[in-house]
Amino acid sequence: MQPQSIPENRKFSPYFVFYSVISMQIGVGALGFQRIIAMIAGYDSWQSVIIAGVASLLVMSFMYKQLETVNGDLTDVHQFVFGKWLGKILSIFFVLYFSILSITVLRSYIEVIQVWMFPDLSTFWFSLLYLLLCIYIIFGGIRTVIGISFFSFVLPMYIIYVLGAAIPFGDFRHFLPLFNHSFNKLLEASQSMSLTYMGFETLMIYYPFIKEPKKSKKWAHLGLCYSLLFYFYMTIICFAFYGEEQLQKDIWATLTTFKIVHFLVVERFEYIGIANWCLVILPNICLSLWCATRLLKRTMKIKQKYGVWILSGIILICCPLFNNRLQINLLNAITGNTGFILNFIYIPILFLLASIVKKVKKKA
């Protein structure tokens, strides 16, 4: 299969994949994933964080095998396995997936602002201004989008210190007795981590834009390892700081933990965290929207700049439709379950099919 012709000045260095992977995984889910997993497997669910992280590493290996086989992106993999037309239909489904992911991240973040800071904040007007910023970044090209990912890696670094301030107040006896839940419960809790870990599948879209993409493999895996350690650290701190019953009533445990930090000039440190998260989720939406419009261009021949405006308009219309906690929670559940199916079921199956087709074509 002929590789895509991507100009060299539009490609980025392999080590930037490290930042792109992390920036997609550390987002709005990091503000409250602890409660979700604790409701399923109690305080044994720290093991689920590890299981989900290791599974992500395995899936990443499957992704690289497929991409190296076709020397292209997800659209090329689909056409290699299923043919031209069915391959395009399956690729269009991923356009919907990345669009829904953008809606989920943006609407969930707006909910945090409305609950913690400004109850009367207009969902429509905030979405409009935020999407205009995303459009401006996307029009700068993939190198600009990946560059923003670097700041998404740097900005949350203070969380390590802030959460560390809770250690003296933690009670690590909360973890006892260890291994008190069945393996099925741990797997179920791992599945509920899908919304938190998802996003690394964007690699299958921007892969052709990486200079010497084979060299990016180690950086992608290192990025996943960093996310695993980051979430493991957050889990241990919050589990020690909160009792299990208390945690199950706290939707955004990470933000609540910020309250223990006080400075002379800043009493409500969580406000800084929420404002800072506006930039943390920026590459979540920019890269998802870029991937969706890139797939539109590859499958339906719609110019990417037009696709950005079209999908941004759809996202702008959809965000205000989710106007209460139940609806937003349902949106998160649908997106998380879809991401789980695509990442941990569909992509491994696609890898097996691609391997079979490759062998068949070699023998032909």
Tens-digit pLDDT string for the chain (364 aa): 445 678 888 899 999 999 999 999 988 888 889 989 999 988 899 999 999 999 999 999 999 999 999 999 999 999 999 998 999 999 999 999 999 999 999 999 999 999 999 999 999 999 999 999 999 999 999 999 999 998 888 877 777 787 888 888 888 888 888 888 888 999 999 988 877 888 899 999 999 999 999 999 999 999 999 999 999 999 999 999 888 888 888 888 888 888 887 777 777 778 888 888 898 899 999 999 999 999 999 999 999 999 999 999 999 999 999 999 899 999 999 999 999 999 999 999 999 999 999 988 887 6
DSSP at 12: B
- Taking the C-alpha atoms of residue 47 and residue 38, their distance in angstroms, rounded to an integer, is 11
The two three-digit tokens of residue 275, written as one number: 């404002």
CATH hierarchy code of domain 12-350? 1.20.1740.10
Q: What is the pLDDT of residue 1?
A: 47
Name residues whose C-beta falls within 8 Å of residue 288's C-beta, 6 or more positions apart in sequence.
Answer: 24, 98, 99, 101, 102, 105, 199, 202
333-341 long-range contacts, Cβ below 8 Å, gap at least 24? 334/100, 335/100, 335/101, 335/104, 335/195, 335/198, 336/192, 336/194, 336/195, 336/198, 337/194, 338/97, 338/100, 339/97, 339/101, 339/194, 339/195, 339/198, 339/201, 340/191, 340/194, 340/198
Q: Return the pLDDT at 4.
A: 66
DSSP 214-248: GGGHHHHHHHHHHHHHHHHHHHHHHHHHS-HHHHT
Phi, psi of 12 (to 5 degrees): -125, 160
Domain map (residue ranges) of the chain = 12-350
Residues 6+ apart with CB under 8 A from 65: 351, 354, 355
**pTM value?**
0.93
Rounded to whole angstroms, how far apart are CA atoms 248 and 38?
7
